[in-house]
């Protein structure tokens, strides 16, 4: 398969066509089965997290080390010259001159695209505000394919914060390449943005709205849960909304046999811990798959042939 990702910036999932996605997923599957500690030999990767992260940062850093590369970077921009007023553009310009690839998370929408304009090496977006989280989507697709045995023609429900949840925007866009059908379950204040719905309309993708996880579970292959962020509501409103969008064992009583529940994590209360023991829970395997998906992406961006 031609590697069109070589030397590319990875900013948005919209930059990937179906072939690119399949190449990453195939490479991730190979790396999961057969480790390759040679693919980043001699490469230095910057891991610069201007915003908190557990899974994205640590799985990227694990991926680099498992492929034989080395890391520089930070997990707290408060310890960098950003604190003295250095612009993102200047920071990226300098750090990229030390490295072979630049992995970044930043709270500002559009920051990854901006970084790519000032970086001398490929930039990989680890999440830019509420905008995009393309590498999460790669591991989500990998996990969906792994647990369903295919990606084409699946029925997927997204639940929770569909407005600010960058992972659902990226995943919905990517699943359009595979003819998915969607159900959206969200409070009005956190509904899927119009620009995503317009994209689905343009591509002829079917979607519906529901306000019940229980009624939706028997009809879908994947339930993709997200966290409703407390800080966006007053306390009474939050309690009302959060209690309505909790997935518990009862809400899965009529679920399809092949249903799997995914969540980008961290979760707060939106998936009851009892669900963890059911055959539907797949979110911990999903988080582990972050290492393989990110290994694949780094390997493809930094090697013409993998
Ligand atoms: N899923 C995800 O992005 O998790 P972190 O915020 O812990 O990186």
Kindly tell me the sign of the dihedral angle through the C-alpha atoms of 200, 12, 1, 290: negative
- Which amino acid residue places its CA nearest to atom 6 of ligand 1? 53
For residue 120, give the DSSP letter: S
User: pLDDT at position 44, please?
Assistant: 98
Q: Which residues pair with 271 in a beta bridge?
A: 247
What is the per-residue pLDDT across 59-111, written as a single tens digit (0 to 9) for each? 999 999 999 999 999 999 999 999 999 999 999 999 999 999 999 999 999 99
Find the radius of gyration of the CA atoms of the chain.
19
With tokens 């529940």, the residue in question is 261
- What pLDDT was estimated at residue 234? 81
pTM: 0.96
Helices marked H in 152-246: 166-175, 194-203, 213-216, 235-244
Q: Is 267 annotated as a binding residue?
A: no
Half-sphere exposure in the Cβ direction for 196 (13 Å, CA): 24
- Distance between first and last Cα of the chain: 10
ipTM of predicted complex: 0.99
> Tens digit of pLDDT for each residue in 214-249?
999 999 999 999 998 777 778 888 887 777 789 999
How many whole angstroms from 1 Cα to the centroid of ligand 1? 30
For residue 131, give the 3-state DSSP assignment: coil
The minimum-distance atom of ligand 1 relative to the CA of 287 is: 1
């Amino acid at each position: 398969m031609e590697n069109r990702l070589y030397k590319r910036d990875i900013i948005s999932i919209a930059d990937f066509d179906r072939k690119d996605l399949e190449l990453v997923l195939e490479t991730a599957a190979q790396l999961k089965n057969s480790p390759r500690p040679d693919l980043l030999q001699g490469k230095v990767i910057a891991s610069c997290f201007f915003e908190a992260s557990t899974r994205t940062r640590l799985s990227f850093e694990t991926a680099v080390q498992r492929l034989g590369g080395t890391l520089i970077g930070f997990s707290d921009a408060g310890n960098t010259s950003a604190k003295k007023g250095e612009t993102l553009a200047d920071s990226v310009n300098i750090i990229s001159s030390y490295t072979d690839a630049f992995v970044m998370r930043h709270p500002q929408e559009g920051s990854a695209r901006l970084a790519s304009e000032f970086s001398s090496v490929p930039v990989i977006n680890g999440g830019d505000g509420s905008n995009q989280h393309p590498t999460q989507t790669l591991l989500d697709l990998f996990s969906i394919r792994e647990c369903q045995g295919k990606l084409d023609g699946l029925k997927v429900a997204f639940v929770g914060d569909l407005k600010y949840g960058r992972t659902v925007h990226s995943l919905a866009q990517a699943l359009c390449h595979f003819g998915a059908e969607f159900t959206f379950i969200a409070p009005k204040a956190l509904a899927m943005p119009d620009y995503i719905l317009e994209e689905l309309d343009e591509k002829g993708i079917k979607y519906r709205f529901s306000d019940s996880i229980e009624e939706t579970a028997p009809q879908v292959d994947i339930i993709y849960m997200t966290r409703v962020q407390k800080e966006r509501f007053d306390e009474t409103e939050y309690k009302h909304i959060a209690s309505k969008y909790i997935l518990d064992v009862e809400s899965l009583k009529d679920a399809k046999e092949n249903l799997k529940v995914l969540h980008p994590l961290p979760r707060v209360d939106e998936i009851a811990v009892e669900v963890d023991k059911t055959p539907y829970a797949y979110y911990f395997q999903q988080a582990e798959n972050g290492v393989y998906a990110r290994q694949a992406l780094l390997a493809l961006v930094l090697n013409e042939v993998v």
